[in-house]
A and B are shown apart, each in its own frame.
Chain A
Amino acid sequence: MRDDLRLLYLLIVYDIHKIMRYKVFILMRVAWFSVQVGFFAYLISHIVGQRFGGELTYYHFYLLGAYTSILFTVSMFRGYETAQEFEEGLIEYMLSLPIKRKILAIGRILGGSIASFILTLPMMLIVLFLLGAFDLFSISLAMASAMIFSIGIVSLSISLVFLIKSGDATDITFGILDSLLVRLSTVFYPAIILLSFIPYYYVSSVNPLSYLADFLRWIFYPQELSKYLINNPMNLAFFIIGFATSMLVLATIFIEKKIEGGGWK
């Protein structure tokens, strides 16, 4: 058990260390996220008529959605990395190490989600600064929920890579998933707007992005935004935890079975 925990720790540290390779990537992401929230979000909030009570405008509403979508994209990116590691033979090397499959799967998923969270930390700080949200409890709760959400998405993306088993197909599938899931969620619009197109509403009501975006909105604006959420705050929290746990278990089982089935391709 102790050895397992040590190996788990080493795998997590391995993924976190890899962040150092992405200095330019982080800088560019931060730059275009700044353009997204400083130019796009600012202007688009001026064409939106919807008011959210009090001093809140669409700008406040959208900022937390923008953070959710960037965390989703960065977490999904772990899937590309896994595909690349397969193509480079790195996964096969890891399989030859004296590490249990289950520990390897959990370690890479947790490492990947912590790394994704760290990569998006500058964006979260920008959003918190723009919102003027400095309450420590709210920030801690937001960080914890973002971290749990990321575990779910990393598990999902790694499972998909094992299912698809092709670098190119992974690239396309993730691109399509990204564009559809972000738009069919409450990232851009409140749940009441989605109700005007029932099929869109149904998809968004089972879309994990809706749950994190709305949970973050509830954390920072519980009074003003509560009637615009897709579900009640307790259900939002349980959905995020349930999604992350089920995806983690599913990915672990999936990795064990698929790897034993003969690896990549």
Chain B
Amino acid sequence: MINIRNISIIISRDLQRFWKYRWWLAGLITMNLADLFIFALLFNNMVRRDLIPNYFLFIATGIAAIASFASAFSIGREVGVEIRRNYTQYLLSLPLSRIELAFGRILSGTVRGLIYQTPFIILLFILIDLPSPLQIIYILIASTLLSTTMSSISIAVSTATRNFDMQATLRSFTYFILFFISNVFYPDALIRQRFPGVLYNIAYYNPVSLTVSLFRIIFKIYATPPSGYSELHIIMYLAIWALISMFMGGYLYIRNLEK
């Protein structure tokens, strides 16, 4: 039996710690805003209009998805520090079940992702348009599922080793692979045309790409989903990603804590 109160305590403590990393957050915001207000604005002058009429708005939807992804990843950094400093015995001795501990940590990452992403979503409302209430619900569900996936993956990756350099390198590697092999910077049609087959499928079904596609469909920013796809199809794929990664992340976290 899972005690919701225990999970909520873990989430609230992790959230308090999130605000401690104000400077880290400032760095992350700077990076995301630099991508939008420097890279996208300048690149907009170089992009073929027949392919992407407004690259600034095209990237803005990508940045909004990346925002939740990056901050949800921050939980992995902290879990990595706990493992390195042998904080694990303390965590295991807490009056919580292993499942509550694991899901509490994963959900902490999810909440962080959502909180951090909110201003970027509001920015999309200001820059593009206010979607319908149903579409806002879709955005909320997709963001939650993406944050859960990323939080789980980063926890699994960070607990795989006790070495600090290896932890940081593995996290960065996972982050960059998910970031570059996605549709954040280029349209799906172009990926399909230049890298047909397996690589296109990897890029398209990448959880970051799925979220970006959903945002682009909702905000009508040149999304070209495979025919017959709707917002619900994308949410279903994101839910599959979230479920699998949550169980795998939780399992690996507990296994590595008990080592």
Q: Which of A2-10, A23-31, A99-107, A136-144 is the contact stretch?
A: A23-31
Point out the residue from B51, B52, B173 that lies within 8 Å of A31, measured CB to CB. B173
Residues 72-93 of B contacting A (Cβ, < 8 Å): none
Interface presence of B123 (CB below 8 A): no
Q: A71 CA to B123 CA in the complex, in Å?
A: 34
B37–chain A nearest beta-carbon distance, Å: 9
Q: Are A40 and B34 in contact (CB under 8 A)?
A: no
Point out the residue from A28, A47, A189 that lies within 8 Å of B52, measured CB to CB. A47
Also in contact, A44 and B38, with CB within 8 A (given A35-B180, A175-B27, A193-B45): no
Number of A-B contacts (CB under 8 A): 103
Residues 32-82 of A contacting B (Cβ, < 8 Å): 32, 35-36, 39-40, 42-44, 46-50, 58
Q: Kindly list chain B residues whose C-beta atoms are within 8 Å of the C-beta of A35.
A: 176-177, 180-181
Q: Are B169 and A28 in contact (CB under 8 A)?
A: yes
Q: Kindly list chain A residues whose C-beta atoms are within 8 Å of the C-beta of B140.
A: none
Interface presence of A184 (CB below 8 A): yes
Q: A193 CA to B55 CA in the complex, in Å?
A: 14
- Interface on chain A toward B: helix, strand, loop, or mixed SS? helix
Residue of B nearest to A179 (CB): B31
Q: Which of B94-102, B125-133, B186-194, B246-254 is the contact stretch?
A: B186-194
Interface presence of B23 (CB below 8 A): yes
Interface presence of A254 (CB below 8 A): no
Also in contact, A180 and B34, with CB within 8 A (given A39-B180, A43-B190, A172-B26): yes
Point out the residue from B39, B47, B177 that lies within 8 Å of A49, measured CB to CB. B47
A260–chain B nearest beta-carbon distance, Å: 29
Q: Are A180 and B30 in contact (CB under 8 A)?
A: yes
Q: Are B169 and A46 in contact (CB under 8 A)?
A: no
Point out the residue from B23, B55, B170, B185 that lies within 8 Å of A40, measured CB to CB. B185
Q: A36 CA to B179 CA in the complex, in Å?
A: 10
Q: Kindly list chain A residues whose C-beta atoms are within 8 Å of the C-beta of B190.
A: 43, 46-47
Q: A47 CA to B187 CA in the complex, in Å?
A: 9
Residue of A nearest to B33 (CB): A179
Interface presence of A129 (CB below 8 A): no
Q: Are A189 and B46 in contact (CB under 8 A)?
A: yes
Q: A203 CA to B31 CA in the complex, in Å?
A: 17
Q: Chain B, 33-44, contact with A by CB distance < 8 Å: what is the 0/1 string? A: 011001101110
Q: A83 CA to B227 CA in the complex, in Å?
A: 53
Q: A47 CA to B51 CA in the complex, in Å?
A: 7
Residues 204-228 of B contacting A (Cβ, < 8 Å): none
Q: Are B180 and A36 in contact (CB under 8 A)?
A: yes
Q: Kindly list chain A residues whose C-beta atoms are within 8 Å of the C-beta of B55.
A: 47
Q: A84 CA to B46 CA in the complex, in Å?
A: 41
B205–chain A nearest beta-carbon distance, Å: 16
Q: A175 CA to B186 CA in the complex, in Å?
A: 25
Residues 152-198 of B contacting A (Cβ, < 8 Å): 165-166, 169-170, 172-173, 176-177, 180-181, 185-187, 190-191, 194-195
Interface presence of A88 (CB below 8 A): no
Q: Which of A110-118, A194-202, A239-247 is the contact stretch?
A: A194-202
Q: Which residues of A contact B (CB under 8 A)?
A: 21-22, 24-25, 28, 31-32, 35-36, 39-40, 42-44, 46-50, 58, 168-169, 171-172, 175-176, 179-180, 183-184, 188-189, 193-194, 196-197, 200
Known: A48-B47, A50-B46. 18 other contacts (CB 8 A): A25-B165, A31-B173, A35-B180, A39-B180, A39-B181, A43-B186, A43-B194, A43-B195, A47-B48, A49-B46, A49-B49, A171-B24, A171-B27, A176-B26, A176-B27, A189-B42, A189-B46, A196-B42
